[in-house]
């Protein structure tokens, strides 16, 4: 993507995905260098986008995605669930905890909606649009449509999980979808074939027509 993509202040929306201390260095499920995206996102919120929304992972204690909820299992094990395979995570983004709040340095004044996801005890929610069963809607698509949104630009954590799944959901919901690469960071988990989760996510999204760009490309 060449520099100078014009942001339409009427119909473009920035989606800030899970910018929470729980995913930052020192948090329960840290994304390497995750805190480095906060200043980039703040510049986008202040200088580029009039319309924005944010999501929070918001898990009850004992959530089904926590390794601690399954005897004999460890974080990053994978188990079958009714909706498909589930990676088991360290306890994170626990409702009411300080680390589950939006990052205190995030300038969220332009976030017209803060959507909490993953609050169902039995069902995880990577995507901002659909729970992990692939059918239960979070309501974000309707909110965006009602406000006349046409293009969705995604930033946040993690690039290879909640940002990637949110991008897939945005495509499915009919939005032109962009990922702002310097406003995201990835977990980069190794997969059985030797490739990492961020490489696989990028390939998947490119195949769906998602555009990758950097914040400097936006004018």
Domain ranges of the chain: 12-59+90-217
57, 111, 160, 162: which is the annotated catalytic residue?
162
Cis peptide before 124, with omega less than 30 degrees from 0? no
105 is catalytic: no
Name the pLDDT band for 1 (thresholds 50, 70, 90).
Answer: very low
On whether the CB atoms of residues 1 and 83 are closer than 8 A, the answer is: no
**Whether residue 4 has pLDDT greater than 80:** no
Tell me the CA end-to-end span of the chain in Å, nearest whole number: 13
Contacts of 61 (CB under 8 A, 6+ apart): 91, 94, 95
Distance, CA of 185 to CA of 191 (rounded, Å): 18
Comparing 2 with 42, which gets the higher pLDDT? Answer: 42
Per-residue confidence (pLDDT) for residue 15, from 0 to 100? 98
**Whether residue 55 has pLDDT greater than 60:** yes
Name the pLDDT band for 59 (thresholds 50, 70, 90).
Answer: very high
On whether the CB atoms of residues 12 and 153 are closer than 8 A, the answer is: yes
pLDDT (mean) for 190-201: 90
Per-residue confidence (pLDDT) for residue 194, from 0 to 100? 83
162 is catalytic: yes
**Whether residue 212 has pLDDT greater than 90:** yes
12, 18, 57, 124: which is the annotated catalytic residue?
18
Per-residue confidence (pLDDT) for residue 2, from 0 to 100? 43
Instruction: Select from 185, 178, 189, 124 the least CA-distant residue to 157.
Output: 185
Per-residue confidence (pLDDT) for residue 192, from 0 to 100? 80
pLDDT (mean) for 142-148: 96
**Whether residue 72 has pLDDT greater than 70:** yes
57, 91, 117, 124: which is the annotated catalytic residue?
117
Distance, CA of 117 to CA of 4 (rounded, Å): 33
Task: Please state whether beta strands 12-17 and 211-213 pair in parallel, antiparallel, or not at all (unpaired).
Answer: unpaired
Whose structure tokens read 């400097």? 216
Element housing 45 (H / E) = helix 37-47
Comparing 219 with 27, which gets the higher pLDDT? Answer: 27
Per-residue confidence (pLDDT) for residue 119, from 0 to 100? 97
Per-residue confidence (pLDDT) for residue 191, from 0 to 100? 80
Distance, CA of 191 to CA of 4 (rounded, Å): 36
CATH (residue range 12-59+90-217) = 3.40.50.850
Per-residue confidence (pLDDT) for residue 129, from 0 to 100? 98
Give the SS3 label for residue 85.
Answer: strand
pLDDT (mean) for 119-139: 96
Instruction: Select from 179, 176, 138 the least CA-distant residue to 160.
Output: 179
111 is catalytic: no
In this prediction the pTM is 0.95
**Whether residue 68 has pLDDT greater than 60:** yes
């Amino acid at each position: 993507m060449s520099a100078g993509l014009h942001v339409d202040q009427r119909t473009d929306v920035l989606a800030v995905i899970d910018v929470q201390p729980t995913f930052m260095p020192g948090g329960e499920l840290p994304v390497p260098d995750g805190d480095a995206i906060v200043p980039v996102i703040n510049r986008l919120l202040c200088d580029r986008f009039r319309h924005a929304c944010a999501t929070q992972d918001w898990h009850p204690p004992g959530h089904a995605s926590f390794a601690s909820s399954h005897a004999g299992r460890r974080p990053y094990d994978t188990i079958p669930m009714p909706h498909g395979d589930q990676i088991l995570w360290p306890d994170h983004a626990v409702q009411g905890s300080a680390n589950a709040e939006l990052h205190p340095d995030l300038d969220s004044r332009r976030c017209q909606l803060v959507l909490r996801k993953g609050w169902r005890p039995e069902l995880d929610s990577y995507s901002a649009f659909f729970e992990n069963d692939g059918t239960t809607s979070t309501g974000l698509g309707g909110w965006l449509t009602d406000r006349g949104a046409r293009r969705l630009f995604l930033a946040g954590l993690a690039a290879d999980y909640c940002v990637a799944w949110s991008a897939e959901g945005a495509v499915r919901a009919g939005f032109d979808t962009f990922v702002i690469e310097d406003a995201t960071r990835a977990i980069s988990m190794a997969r059985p074939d030797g490739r990492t989760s961020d490489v696989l996510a990028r390939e998947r999204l490119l195949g769906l027509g998602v555009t990758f760009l950097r914040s400097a490309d936006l004018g």
